[in-house]
Amino acid sequence: MLATVGILSVAFLYRAAGCYIDMTGIPGLESPSPAVSTDGGMTAVHFLDVGQGDSTLICGTEKTVLIDGGERDQGDVVLADLKEFGVKTIDCIIATHPHSDHIGGLVDVLEYAAEYDDLEIKQVIIPDIPENDIPTTAVYANFLNGVEANGLSVTFAEYQMTLDLGSSMMTIYPPVPGADYSSLNDYSVCANLVCGDVSFFFTGDMEHPEEYDLLEGGFLSGVEATVLKAGHHGSSTSSSEELLAQLKPEYVVISCGAGNKYGHPNTEALERFYQYTDEIYRTDLDGIITCTTDGTNVAWTTEGEE
């Protein structure tokens, strides 16, 4: 069992990959030295509060990753968070799937980076969706235009594609090749972030069909998650018993909006989570949620308690 500490109290910052990481409260850290894990430093995962949407900022010692950006009206929120955390370079944006509550805010991020020189984006990863399922929405078109405005081309997620963040390693899990799903949710790009003995699993809006295919195909063999970012905002159609049995999460984070019309998180999903942990964080209740790890210990802070 991991050594766990509570809410961080005093600001004690280490600058890594252009992103400030709060290291207060992690046992064994008496000075801002990154040399506390076999990977050489700290990793901070910020689950941003974008209402009924999804956005996660990951800061390693060498690289920064942004997964999704919330709904179209949340772009300014994400940009403000990037500034607050001192981010000047996003080494990789992962757009898990082309629903507006995940890529909408990325439009503003991309447009800002294209216009101003205090934010640089180096790569954008998206799922390779069958041609007949590619959306024709204005928000998706604007997203692609934003990628092009930064002089980039999208990179299609491939199985076990890896991103080295310095203090942690991320492995990409795209939808199973050849899969034909009825919902864009099941084309979500998932990711497993490992920092020493601590791991995170990010699900996008993956629902039971994609979960089943990844599990049955053996793609998740050996993958566990200290921290699980719950699929599809904690809906009943995600985070199946089978997926949880594979990942065995010690903590769960749910990104959802206060009083949302969908009833997220669903009570059935919550009951499944409680079989593994009672350490459940929610952006609708906690605001921005940050998990900081040195590869052995984890520390949590929430927006209202920073």
Residue with tokens 């605001």: 287
Are the beta carbons of 5 and 25 closer than 8 angstroms?
Answer: yes
> What pLDDT digit, counting tens, does each position of 166-212 carry?
999 999 999 998 899 999 999 999 999 999 999 999 999 999 999 99
Query: Which CA distances in Å does 66 have to 26, 46, 52, 147, 190?
Result: 24, 10, 17, 14, 13
Q: Does residue 304 have a pLDDT over 90?
A: no
Buried b (16+ CB within 10 A) or exposed e, 166-197: bbbbbbbbbbbeeeebebbbbbbbbbbbbbbe
pLDDT attached to residue 73: 96
Please name which of 204, 182, 189 lies closest in space to residue 132, comparing C-alpha atoms.
Answer: 182
**Is residue 27 predicted with pLDDT exceeding 90?**
no
Residues 6+ apart with CB under 8 A from 271: none
Question: Which two tokens mark 96?
Answer: 């898990």
94 pLDDT above the threshold of 90: yes
The predicted structure's pLDDT at residue 20: 58
Q: Where are the alpha helices (DSSP H) in 50-161?
A: 75-84, 100-115, 138-149
pLDDT at 281: 97
Q: What is the pLDDT of residue 15?
A: 52
More confident residue, 124 or 26: 124
| DSSP one-letter code for 257 | -
Paired tokens of 226: 């200290």
Q: How far, rounded to the nearest angstrom, does the alpha carbon of residue 201 sit from its chain's CA centroid?
A: 8
**Domain definitions of the chain by residue range:** 12-28+40-305
Lookup: tokens for 138: 């204005």
If you average pLDDT over every residue of the chain, what do you get? 89
Lowest mean pLDDT among 2-16, 215-229, 252-266: 2-16
pLDDT at residue 272, rounded to an integer: 96
Distance CA 305, CA 293 (A): 18
Q: Please state which of the four CATH numbers 3.60.15.10, 3.30.360.10, 1.10.1040.10, 3.40.50.620 is assigned to the domain occupying 12-28+40-305.
A: 3.60.15.10
Check residue 305 and give its pLDDT.
56
| Mean pLDDT within 111-140 | 96
CA distances for 130 relative to 2, 157, 176, 210, 249, angstroms: 41, 13, 12, 15, 32
Question: What's the mean pLDDT in 77-90?
Answer: 97
- CB-count exposure of residue 234 (10 Å: 0-12, 13-18, 19+): buried
C-alpha pair distances (Å), 62 with each of 48, 55, 68, 165: 21, 20, 20, 5
